[in-house]
Amino acid sequence: MSPNKPPPPLIQEIFPVEVCRKAAELGFGGLYVREDVGGSGLSRLDSSVIFEALATGCVSTTAYISIHNMCAWMIDEFGSQELRSKYLPHICSMQLLASYCLTEPDYGSDAANLQTSAKRDGDHYVINGSKAFISGAGDTDVYIIMTRTGAKDDGAKGVTCFLVDKDTPGLNFGAKEKKVGWNSQPTRMVILEDCRIPATNMVGEEGQGFTIAMKGLNGGRINIASCSLGAAWAAIDKTTDYLKERKQFGQKLSQFQHLRFTLADMAAGLLSSRLMVRHAARSLDSAHSHAPQLCAMAKLVATETCYDITNKALQLHGGYGYLKDYPVQQYMRDARVHTILEGTSEIMKRIIASSLLN
């Protein structure tokens, strides 16, 4: 190796596209998309079980697959038959990868006031604006973008959803963000400058975008919560093995009562979180009127509890838990962001409180 050439990084942040496509061969690219366009036609409950299991291997990659599935569902549920037929077979096979674009630099949780604009020009719309924290951006092929077609004062009623192809002139991307976790998927800003798209690329109807976004997020919250379950499950599994092997003060760590009690609390927290997530998933499947509140509760409890479980797992590993040679730190770093994205824990509390008071 040349003395002037830096050594390769210890950890390579690779977006595992081929792994995703192998997952799609098992039906994981369109889990709850209808079968006529290549989807698996499964329930939200089925999908929750699958995402939890996948996340025991890699939380970050599973989380991207869950976002891809949310985009696919939006097209399937609200898109025209033309859009469904043109895009979904390739999205379900993950030959086309999808990204969801809602958050803006100045409007994160306040999605009803987003400022990215779409102006009608004949048979096209011209989009200008920017989106932040977009998973897969720059490496994915299809972008589901929430824009403002109405006046600023229209709030949620003026939001419209569009599908934008990566090769559309005027669609650009920011630098890859450097993140604590979720490093198997790139995150970049999406920048739209006079981005001209056919009016037929509208998903749903004009002014329906906010409704689409909120319905999508109900499922997205279950998906991310399920990824948190997988992280906690794997962390408990790794910790159980570690406690049975590691010795201190002449005995195995598994013999110390305090550590046994901590492990028991972790397992109980995982199970209670899992039951809440599964219950919320069933409420989505049955279109229950309280589904949004139940999804918010499940997301709040599961992501906070499961992050705490992964953090305790690292603590029980002692100094070894802080080393990247041990996977428990990766579960903790990947799970941390789950209390922020798809609606922060504080926004979940706001949804829950509003449902109670109203």
* Mean pLDDT across 343-350: 96
Q: What is the pLDDT of residue 6?
A: 52
* Mean pLDDT across 295-303: 98
Query: Contact at 8 Å (CB) between 63 and 107?
Result: no
Identify the three-state secondary structure at position 212: helix
Dump pLDDT digits (tens) for 111-120. Answer: 888 999 999 9
Predicted confidence (pLDDT) at residue 313 exceeds the cutoff of 70: yes
Q: What is the pLDDT of residue 326?
A: 93
Q: What is the pLDDT of residue 57?
A: 96
Computed over its alpha carbons, how large is the radius of gyration of the chain?
21
Predicted confidence (pLDDT) at residue 59 exceeds the cutoff of 80: yes
Percentage of the residues of the chain whose pLDDT score is greater than 70: 97
Mean pLDDT, the chain, rounded, equals 95
269-299 exposure pattern, b = at least 16 Cβ within 10 A, e = fewer:
bbeebbebbbebbbbbbeeeeebbbbbbbbb
Is position 342 annotated as part of the catalytic site? yes
Q: Which range has the worst mean pLDDT, 5-19, 91-105, 160-174?
A: 5-19
| C-alpha span between 345 and 297 (Å, rounded) | 9
The pTM score is: 0.94
| C-alpha span between 30 and 356 (Å, rounded) | 34
* Mean pLDDT across 6-13: 60
- 10 pLDDT band, cuts 50/70/90, is low
- 224 pLDDT band, cuts 50/70/90, is very high
Catalytic, out of 25, 304, 342, 346: 342
Dump pLDDT digits (tens) for 193-214. Answer: 999 999 999 999 999 999 999 9
Query: Contact at 8 Å (CB) between 50 and 27?
Result: no
- 219 pLDDT band, cuts 50/70/90, is very high
